[in-house]
Structure 1
Amino acid sequence: MSKITITVLEITIGMDLGNQKHDICVLNSEGKIVEQAKIENNLESLSVYFSNYERPHKIRVALEVGSSSLWISSKLKSMGFNVIVANARKLRMIWDSTNKCDEKDAEKIARVARMDPSLLYGIQHRSMDSQQVLTVLRAREHFVKMRTQTMNSLRGILKSLGVSDLPKCEANRFSEKMYEYVCDDLLPTLGEMLYECQELTDRIERLDDRIELISEESCPEAQHLRQIPGVGPVTALAFVLTIDDPTRFNKSRDIGAFLGLTPKRDQSGEKDKQLRITKHGDRYLRSLLVICAQHIFSDRSPDSDLKRYGHRIASRGGGAGRKKAKVAIARKLAVLMHRLWVSGDNYEPLHKQALKKAS
């Protein structure tokens, strides 16, 4: 490819990312395709191709969010390109097409970016540093899932053999508690499962120690958020690393929608249906916030505005009301954590009551 000189900001490049190769479509100022290309999914190929463009600050590059979009967008931004990472959920015209292929997807992304970039609902990736630290939490989540699966499998096997009085216990004590329920004939087999469960527990505990160390040494914001009862080191660090930049939200309330904790909307005329939450955004952080909400809502947690708010929601109706209350608390908790992070204020469990007394 020859050296390309750009003089106006009307060159648009669309990229459809793949596991092996990326499809590229280049449009000129008139919307005509001037080049279609494929490059390998590696840093060298990306650098070689885009280094052919002079004055990259006058070129817009649009790509769909995916597993490779973080490092690709970071590299292109460092080279000076105007990069838009499109929200995949908003690009129904691409993934729901009846004539879908990588070349056409790249062209569609480029054409939408050329006409109106806001239609791509561009997202902001977290920093590479945050992403690297976040791998500690992802690894912990993986080991917790494996341990839970092993525990459930072992309980199911023992119940199928007539052992029905298995006790409830904390996950980190599961192995030692279950040994007495495994007969000698099954110990060579089920003992391996108990050993695996203990190995996973040891790995999780080592990662817990590392999470504590990271919070103490390089993430004081996470330490600050842990003053809320029910918010532990994992949730606090996951919140800070996932959000990455709290100033990206104009209002703390916006974070509820960002994490998929606000209801879907289907309004037409006089009809306005009550729907479930969107579940957009980071699934792991959302699940952690709901777990914290369950603790806040429980009888063992201290009195707080969050708890009172949950009880008001739950009083509207039965079991469904309790479920809605936990989600509502999770949303309020996310807003509160963002507000404490931005303001640096200390947590007041009964802030509304204190305001009433002051007035």
Structure 2
Amino acid sequence: MKHYAGLDVSQQTTSICIVDEDGRMVAERKAVTCPQAIATAIEPFHVARAGLETEPLSVWLWNGLNAARVPVICMDARHANAALSMMPAKTDRNDAAGLAQIVRTGWCKRVHVKSAPSHEARALLAARSQLVQIRCDLENEIRGVLRTFGIIFGKRIGGFSKRAEEIVAGELDASPTIRIVLEALMKARVDILAQVAILDGKVRSLSRGNGIVRHLMTVPGVGAITALGFVATIDDPARFRRSASAGAYLGLTPKIYASGETMKVGRISRRGDDFLRRSLYEAANALLTRVARPSALKAWGLRIAKRGGFKRAKVAVARKLAVVLHAMWTTGEELRWSTSTS
């Protein structure tokens, strides 16, 4: 008789429930949250399938359990939660039992677990994005502090650092305290810029060493960050039978509500990876406003901008870029500059 296991994971321990193919509970276990301990706990039952939800530890556990030859699947937490919410009492034990029933019936959406290189690239891009945001926050803090004392930062030839040096040298003589504050913020900004430069070098190095990333960078508006982020997020292009699904996966298609005679089309869903969605939006902006070479994709976007405005056009072009990048990755073809892409 087949057995199925539900794994409710927490940081310290994992609740395990084993059920048979008729749904009857066979055993319950508690194990330390680590792949080896979980595999040992369920090994006597020779489970046909084990399941856990997506959460911060799921990648580590999934890879470890697969290495231990445990047939494990990773389930979409939203789908699992929809089923588990029907239980009158939420406990780790009940959640494990509910997950076991979900695994047994197959009523779940399997989540693709990305490869280790993809997770490394995503961690690199996320860290760089965070540091860039910190730099922007520091610059805004400097401007805000100075504005309180009537000093307008403005713009000067030479950039942000040059203007800050001018202020420290000439406009803060009457306030030694603010001089110390400004110098501390500027030093923090310089340190952040140094770390961003290190991560930028690593991004360029990874991009040069990846033929797929270099191929995608031939698309106008798409740079190393966007191309590397796309490859790291999609991981396996065979996940999508149609390239058009890539846009929906990244939350760039509109929500639709249809019931009876009612049909409503809303804003984009914004599901999926937020970083890649923003990167594609920036790439679309570069294509529409900075790339001089004409292309069918740019012409299509400009027609949308004329009808509905540039913001809507950028979203549409971002979705189209996701489709184009996936198709180029799958087929190995170059971008068709003159062929209509509408």
The TM-score normalised by the length of structure 2 is: 0.90
Give the whole-Å Cα distance in 1 for the aligned partners of 2:132 and 2:265.
Answer: 34
1:81 to 70, 90, 103: 70
- CA shift at 1:98, angstroms? 5.8
Give the 3-state SS of the residue equivalent to 2:267 in structure 1.
coil
2:306 to 308, 315, 326: 315
Distance 1:95 1:69, change over 3 A: farther
Counterpart mapping for 1:1-359 below 5 A: 8=1, 10-54=2-46, 59-91=48-80, 92-94=82-84, 99-115=89-105, 117=106, 119-167=107-155, 173-182=159-168, 183-184=172-173, 185=176, 186-217=178-209, 219-298=210-289, 301-317=292-308, 321-352=309-340
- CA shift at 1:168, angstroms? 7.9
Give the whole-Å Cα distance in 2 for the aligned partners of 1:197 and 1:230.
Answer: 28
Q: Could you list the runs of 5+ residues in structure 2 that have no partner in the other structure?
A: none
Distance 1:226 1:168, change over 3 A: farther
Q: Tell which deviates more after alignment, 39-48 or 155-164.
A: 39-48
Q: Could you list the runs of 5+ residues in structure 1 that have no partner in the other structure?
A: 1-7
The aligned amino acid for 1:278 is S
Give the 3-state SS of the residue equivalent to 1:273 in structure 2.
strand
Give the whole-Å Cα distance in 2 for the aligned partners of 1:315 and 1:274.
Answer: 21
Are 2:3 and 2:45, in contact at CA under 8 Å, matched by a contact in 1?
no
Report runs of 4+ in structure 1 exceeding 4 Å deviation. Answer: 95-98
Q: What's the % identity of the aligned pairs?
A: 32
The aligned amino acid for 1:86 is M
Are 2:121 and 2:229, in contact at CA under 8 Å, matched by a contact in 1?
no
Aligned to 1:5: none
Give the whole-Å Cα distance in 2 for the aligned partners of 1:242 and 1:199.
Answer: 29
Are 2:207 and 2:224, in contact at CA under 8 Å, matched by a contact in 1?
yes
Residues 147-173 of structure 1: CA deviation (Å, up to 9, x unaligned) = 121112212212222223522899xx5
The aligned amino acid for 2:99 is I
Give the whole-Å Cα distance in 2 for the aligned partners of 1:26 and 1:70.
Answer: 22
Are 1:295 and 1:301, in contact at CA under 8 Å, matched by a contact in 2?
no
The aligned amino acid for 2:324 is L
Give the 3-state SS of the residue equivalent to 1:274 in structure 2.
strand
Residue correspondences, number: 335
Aligned to 1:3: none
- CA shift at 1:238, angstroms? 1.0
Residues 189-248 of structure 1: CA deviation (Å, up to 9, x unaligned) = 11111111111111111111111111222x110011111121111111111111111111
